[in-house]
Chains A and B, each alone.
With several copies, the nearest count.
Chain A
Amino acid sequence: MNLSFNVEKIRQDFPILSKKINNKPLIYFDNAATSQTPICVIDCIKDYYEKYNSNIHRGVHSLSDEATSAYEDARNKVKDHFNIKYSEEVIFTSGTTHSINIVSNGFSKILTKDDEIIVSGLEHHSNIVPWQMMIESSGAKLKVIPLMENGELDMDEFANILSLKTKVVFLNHVSNALGLINPIEKIINMSHEKGAYVLIDGAQSAAHFKIDLQKLNVDFFTASAHKLCGPTGVGFLYGKKELLHRMEPLMGGGEMISDVTFSKTTYADLPHKFEAGTPNISGVIAFGRALDYLNEIGLEKIENYENDLLDYANSKLKQIEGLKIYGESKNKTSVISFNIEGIHSYDIGALLDKFGIAVRTGQHCAQPIMDHFGVDGTVRASFSFINTFQEIDDLFEALKKVKSMLS
């Protein structure tokens, strides 16, 4: 167990943790769906609206200067946090889904029907549906990296389907349904050898360990603020400059053009080309503050503590007879996806809620993984650095009661 990690002190940063559910203290094990928000991030939003709310980039007045500076500071924070080379390679979006759609739409005019794209069998719907839409308009073919029995990617099969025809490979860094960490370094290198670009969906990884995008040499990367202690409605897309230049924007509007007449429009430079309209200004600024917060604690410490939580939870939950964990592996973030024999995942979730325990149940927007395991859904308990070992004990006790009620 990790003694250097002062979880009680950290928990004081999160006002929601004093909430009672059904008269019991909230135990929040749905961190993979959305992270909770520390008070410094909430205050940052409040501060924005109370002190310098203004539209940005084109205002001549002080409020607009102040808001613009804060907004662009946030861009630099993202750049530094993920070790990105140029700040204009950071595009603010409304979230991972929006980011992926920018890329899939951008490629829909670049790819042809002779091209192929590769997706993993572990994807969130947000990293499947946009590419299906792209395929429809470009005619490119989709290949899927199959899963091995435990849910890990079958890398031999990946080597088989990867070819010079492959133009884009897209997969998540960590699977939201199972918590499996994919071997993205390997996948990026193998793909680049064939001349294919790689998009990594980091929605589930960025909160759990440090990521160095220059070192990874990945072509596109994206994450959502709301899973990183930040607010809803904001995320970012990293893309290599030369690729962003080649792609057409998903949306047109103010900010993203440099010249408009009715017959012709010239797009503005990066990053503005992809940031049409008034952005989520307060959200972007608060996202920057959230990254500061994570760095103040230290992602390495977070990673170690969460690994300890996961080990502990694994050892406890396995004591429950009939409980089956999906996607077991050494390379996992702190997520346990499970079922109990003969019981529907919904029933477990609904009753855990009565104990004040928030888990997610169902398909987790990843129907193909559920199909792989031949299940309708699972219970997913996702832990984070705001959780305690005691809470895992509480989950264990609650699960035993739930099981006896339902069988």
Chain B
Amino acid sequence: MTIENAQKDIIDNFLFFDDWTQKYEYIIELSKDLEFMSDNLKSEDNLIKGCQSKVWLHAEMINGKINFLADSEAIITKGIISILLNVFNNRKPQEILDSDMGFIEKIGLKEHLSPNRANGLSSMYKQIKFYALAFSKS
């Protein structure tokens, strides 16, 4: 599945909800899907700046694709990370570099993209792209 298709799937899932309660309950649900991240990976180096709750992101290159592990103290943030990893995990660096975040607006989470430093979605995406760039050069 391409990144674009993964994003379309998410948009379709979200279309399903009539109100914000259902949407956020779904996000909270998704937070539980996140793959376990061991405490030793929750290092200063993996901490993403610019989020109000602590967010850790770890990346490794496996067979030409980037494998991400991430976690957060806040459930909603975790749910949003989960959405992001659904899209960007196990991708080739170039795929990530070619991607955009338009789908976030389409699923009604635009507020999380604001340059407001409280919610760190932009920072996470920046960091994901940063890893992609680094690995594409290595």
Contacts and interface: CB of A to CB of B under 8 A. Distances in A.
Chain A bound to chain B: yes
Contact of A344 (B75, B111, B114): B75
Nearest to A406: B75
A58 B117 contact: yes
Interface string B3-39: 0000000000000000011001100100000000000
A65 B116 contact: yes
A346 B111 contact: no
B116 A344 contact: no
A67 to B, nearest CB: 9
Interface stretch (B46-54, B60-68, B97-105): B46-54
B96 interface: no
B28 A64 contact: no
A57 interface: yes
B118 interface: yes
Residues of B in contact with A, size category: 20 to 34
B129 to A, nearest CB: 16
Nearest to B111: A65
Given A344-B73, A346-B74, A57 B49 contact: no
Interface in A16-72: 22, 56-60, 62, 64-66, 68-69, 71-72
B7 to A, nearest CB: 22
Contacts of A343: 75
B76 interface: yes
Given A361-B52, A377-B52, A350 B21 contact: no
Contacts of B115: 57, 68-69, 71-72
Contacts, number: 76
Contacts of A58: 52, 116-118
Interface residues of A, number: 31
Interface string A125-149: 0000000000000000000000000
A362 B53 CA distance: 8
B89 interface: no
Given A22-B20, A405-B28, A57 B52 contact: no
A340 to B, nearest CB: 12
Given A344-B73, A405-B21, A57 B117 contact: yes
A344 B25 CA distance: 16
Given A58-B52, A59-B116, A346-B52, 12 more contacts: A22-B20, A57-B117, A60-B119, A66-B114, A68-B114, A344-B53, A346-B53, A350-B76, A350-B119, A405-B21, A406-B28, A406-B75
Interface of B: 20-21, 24-25, 28, 49, 52-54, 73-77, 111, 114-119
Nearest to A66: B114
For the complex of A and B, 10 pairs with smallest distance between CB atoms? A344-B74, A68-B116, A65-B114, A72-B115, A346-B74, A346-B53, A362-B52, A60-B118, A346-B52, A57-B117
Given A64-B118, A362-B118, A258 B25 contact: no
A400 interface: no
Contacts of A56: 116
A72 B50 CA distance: 15
A59 B118 contact: yes
Contacts of A60: 52, 118-119
A351 interface: yes
A353 B20 CA distance: 11
Given A58-B52, A354-B20, A347 B74 contact: yes
15 contacts: A58-B118, A59-B118, A60-B118, A64-B116, A65-B116, A68-B114, A269-B49, A346-B53, A346-B76, A346-B77, A346-B118, A347-B75, A347-B77, A377-B52, A405-B28
A376 interface: yes
A376 B21 contact: no
Nearest to A255: B117
B117 A347 contact: no
Contacts of A405: 21, 24-25, 28
Contacts of A72: 115
B73 A354 contact: no
Contacts of A347: 53, 74-77
Contacts of B24: 351, 354, 405
Contacts of B53: 344, 346-347, 376-377
